[in-house]
Structure 1
């Protein structure tokens, strides 16, 4: 497939995308491919953006972790989202360690925002609440803590 798009147009497009928000390398490459730029030119531009510190997967991971924590997402969901966006495991773990939230408190906060805590839940309702917290990305120990927290 031949393209009439120039390297300067590619560069301008990449900078425009990065000026709106942080992107992972994989995400930015995918967006540039969708705009019909040549793969070789995309890789060169991405390398140059990384050299100039305009594109950094570590920085992207940190921003994403903060945003997910604000949305009350647990560590399992955050990891899965970042892996899906092409972030290396080391960058994910470093970003999670840098934020170091109290996952137990976050799970409890998420639970209380959605449900009225109760000591007496039937099996069906308890399972529904557990599924909700699992969907938010909390680990079993975080879920247990949230469900067993004192209603007062």
Structure 2
């Protein structure tokens, strides 16, 4: 005997139990399953009121998942795609800026490990780090082979 279809609230809770979602992302996923007369926005308001849906938790989760592999530019762009704007985005940007050079050096070390030997190899490493969303200053420090212990002393 087939199971009855989940209600809109049941779908939302199932999605939120798997991982944090932004309001925009959850609204898009739920809109496909909304029946006539069901109000997705009212459900999202209810979820936020009960603290089951939180932009802050979503932002922290996304930053935690992405920061080991990507730079500030890429992470901030993804946050904007998910509807994070204004002062919240500026606060997150300030928090991310602190460790970008160290993260860039770590990504560079895992991928390449040795300083570039010629201009072609330098360009390849530069393009890789730029595609990951790191800033020019962080890339410059990584390509010079900055020791991560030196960064901790600053």
Q: Report TM bin, short chain.
A: 0.7 to 0.9
State the alpha-carbon separation in 1 of the partners of residues 8 and 78 from structure 2. Answer: 27
Residues 38, 74 of structure 1: CA spacing in aligned structure 2 closer, same or farther, 3 A cutoff? farther
Change (3 A) 1:54 1:117: same
Structure 2: segments with no counterpart, 5+ residues? 148-154
Q: The residue matched to 1:93 in structure 2 has which SS?
A: helix
Which residue does the alignment assign to 2:91? 94
SS at match of 1:116: coil
- CA gap of 1:150–1:21, structure 2 versus 1, over 3 A, is closer
Retained in 2: the 8 A contact 1:76–1:137? yes
TM, length-normalised to structure 1: 0.83
The whole-number CA distance in structure 2 between the counterparts of 1:38 and 1:139 is 47
Match among 107, 117, 120 for residue 124 of structure 1: 120
Separation in 2 of the partners of 1:37 and 1:25? 19
* Structure 1 unaligned regions, length at least 5: 1-5
Runs of 4 or more, structure 1, over 2 Å off, are 34-40, 89-101
> Separation in 2 of the partners of 1:58 and 1:18?
14
Aligned-partner SS, 1:30? helix
Q: TM-score, normalised by structure 2?
A: 0.82
Q: Which residue among 62, 65, 86 is the counterpart of 2:63?
A: 65
Q: Which residue of 1 aligns with 2:31?
A: 33
1:90 match: secondary structure: helix
What is the aligned partner in structure 1 of residue 134 from structure 2? 138
TM-aligned CA distance change 1:25 to 1:17, over 3 Å: same
Number of aligned positions between the proteins: 143
**Any conservation in 2 of the 1:77–1:137 contact (CA below 8 Å)?**
yes
**Native 8 Å contact 1:46 1:55 kept in 2:** yes
Alignment-derived partner of residue 78 in structure 1: 75
Q: CA deviation at 1:75?
A: 0.6
CA RMSD of aligned residues (A): 2.3
